[in-house]
Amino acid sequence: MTLALSLSRSLAASLVVALAPAPAPAPAPAPSSTPAGDAPAQLEARPQQDLNEARAREAWQAGVKAYGEGRLEQAIAHFEETYRYSARPGPLFSLGQAHRHRFEETGDARQRHLAIVRFEQYLEAEPEGKRALEAERHLAELLPLSALELEGPGEAPIFTRLSVSSEAAGASLAIDDLDPIPLPAAPDVAPGEHRVVVRAPGYHPWSRSVEVPEGSTITLEVPLQQLDARLTITGSPGASLYIDGQLQTRLSSRTSVHVPPGARQLGVARSGRALYIRELELARGEQLALDVQLEVTAQRKISFAAMGVGGGGMIAASVLLGLTLDAQRRALAIEDERMAAFVSAAQDDEMTHLVARRDALRSATIASGVTGLVVLAAGVILYLTDQPAVHSRLHGDDRAARRTLSLRPGRAGALLRAEF
């Protein structure tokens, strides 16, 4: 109960100063209460150009939460990250407090020693700070207990650590196949080579062998790569698949493709079929199955009808041509009899009728043939020009504009429809 109350009071006080603006460097550093040869390396901030206030504040908030819940090891890792990205002295005091409470919980002399070093580093950076008196009071309590005052320089504890962080949400760290721990974390490790594996939901795992020299802290910032989403498309074999206006592949009866996560526009196009467009919001590692059935376009239906009518016209013209030739043959036979001998008036009338019929059938044959040929040609042209036009140039993140970048009938096909 005493420890919990102490944590709460310390946390409340730390919130006041931890993210306050860093003061100007002191004229001369405060003398260290620990021999220089015995103290572990001080926590170093990043170069000025690499400081990141947003990341420091995020780490600070995570550290405060972990501190308040008694998860001191994680709080220490977050406070260290806060200091590295802000260079403010406040997190150094919070680190001293976290190490001091860790020492009170476990009796670990290393935690006591780190508490001393962090309090001293805080006083060196901000000797007149709001927590300076409290830091000095804690040092006065810890130093008499410290083995550093009784042991020679060669007996000082040596700390070997791996400090690992990642921007991926839910990331965890596993060292040498041990149980994973959440990131950020800075566990102590034995000197030598270690197998480091970082995992996070929706990301490819990251692994590397890291050599950690004795007495050093190796810092790793792991940029995990996102897992692609997987689309499985059935139906519409032979159609072309487009993602964000870019041709991906030609579909079979079942096709699987990997797609980067995020907002995506899917298009499926095939000659003579209406365009399939769907806006997708794909999560990392998501698996989505789609059954795509493309409808026949109106132009393709008209082309089939035109080719059928044109073909019928050509068949009718062939029949009419046969009847024309028959009338011509019979009229010529009567003409031959007239030339050889006298023909009756009835035969003369029949020849006149056959000639008139021949002329009418000939006109009908020409009209039917020409019309059938023209309609058939129009049907063929409509069929051949019924090709979707894909516009691959997308306009940023404008979803409405992306929807207009569709596959539409060609201008020639539209013109033919207007004419016919």
The pLDDT confidence band at residue 265, using thresholds 50, 70 and 90, is: confident
Residues 267 and 342 in one domain: no
The pLDDT of residue 144: 75
Q: What percent of the chain has pLDDT over 70?
A: 78
User: Who wins on pLDDT, 388 or 83?
Assistant: 83
- The first and second tokens of residue 324, run together, are 């024309």
Residue 151 contacts by C-beta under 8 Å, 6 or more apart in sequence?
38
Q: What's the domain range around 256?
A: 229-291
- Which amino acid does the sequence have at 284? R
Least confident of 24-28, 246-250, 364-368: 24-28
Instruction: Count up the domains in the chain and report the number.
Output: 4
Banded model confidence at residue 419, pLDDT cuts 50, 70, 90: very low
Mutual angle of helices 2-17 and 90-106, in 10-degree steps: 170
CATH of the domain at 145: 1.25.40.10
Q: Do residues 15 and 79 share a domain?
A: yes
pLDDT at residue 200 is higher than 80: yes
List the CATH number of the domain containing 164.
2.60.40.1120
The answer to whether residue 93 is domain-embedded is yes
Assign 9 a pLDDT band (cuts: 50, 70, 90). very low
Confirm whether 417 is domain-assigned: no
Name, in order, each residue with C-beta under 8 angstroms of 354's C-beta and a sequence gap of 6 or more: 327, 328, 330, 331, 334
Question: For the residues 54-67, what does the mean pLDDT come to?
Answer: 87
Of these ranges, 32-41, 180-189, 253-262, 265-274, the one predicted with the greatest mean pLDDT is 253-262
pLDDT at 412 over 80: no
Residue 416 lies in a domain: no
pLDDT band at 199 (very low <50, low <70, confident <90, very high): very high
Contact at 8 Å (CB) between 194 and 252? no
Taking Cα atoms as reference points, which of 245, 275, 276, 369 lies closest to residue 319?
369
The pLDDT of residue 157 is: 55
Give the pLDDT of residue 41.
Answer: 53
| Residue 378 included in any domain | yes
At residue 25, the pLDDT reads: 39
pLDDT of residue 15: 40
Residue 407, pLDDT score:
37
pLDDT bucket at 6, cuts 50 / 70 / 90: very low
State yes or no: pLDDT of 177 exceeds 50. Answer: yes
> Do both 212 and 234 map to the same domain?
no
Residue 290 or residue 34, greater confidence: 290
Q: Residue 314: its pLDDT value, please?
A: 84
391 part of a folded domain: no
Q: What's at 304, amino acid-wise?
A: F
Q: Give CB contacts under 8 A, 24+ apart, made by 217-221.
A: 217/41, 217/159, 217/160, 217/161, 217/162, 217/163, 217/186, 218/161, 218/162, 218/163, 219/84, 219/163, 219/164, 220/162, 220/163, 220/164, 220/165, 220/196, 221/165, 221/166
Q: Are 241 and 372 in contact (CB under 8 A)?
A: no
pLDDT band at 39 (very low <50, low <70, confident <90, very high): very low
Is the predicted pLDDT of residue 13 greater than 70, yes or no? no
In a domain, 216, yes or no: yes
pLDDT of residue 343: 64
Q: Which of 246, 241, 229, 240 is nearest to 394 (CA)?
A: 246
Percent with pLDDT over 90 in the chain: 7
Say how far apart CA 78 and CA 160 lie, in whole Å.
Answer: 18
CA gap 316, 326 in Å, rounded: 15
DSSP 226-238: BPPEEEEEES-TT
Q: What is the mean pLDDT of residues 236-257?
A: 86
Are residue 106 and residue 181 in the same domain, yes or no?
no
Q: How confident is the model at residue 149 (pLDDT cuts 50, 70, 90)?
A: very low
pLDDT band at 368 (very low <50, low <70, confident <90, very high): confident
Contacts of 76 (CB under 8 A, 6+ apart): 63, 95, 98, 99, 102, 186
**61-78 average pLDDT score:** 86
Give me the chain's average pLDDT, please. 76
Same domain, 104 and 42: yes
Give yes or no: residues 8 and 135 share one domain: yes
pLDDT at 391: 62
pLDDT in tens, 306-349: 888 888 888 988 888 888 888 788 878 777 777 776 667 777 77
**121 inside domain:** yes
Predicted local confidence at residue 389, as pLDDT: 63
Q: What is the pLDDT of residue 195?
A: 93
What does the alpha-carbon distance between residue 76 and residue 98 come to, in Å, rounded to a whole number?
A: 6
pLDDT score at 390: 59
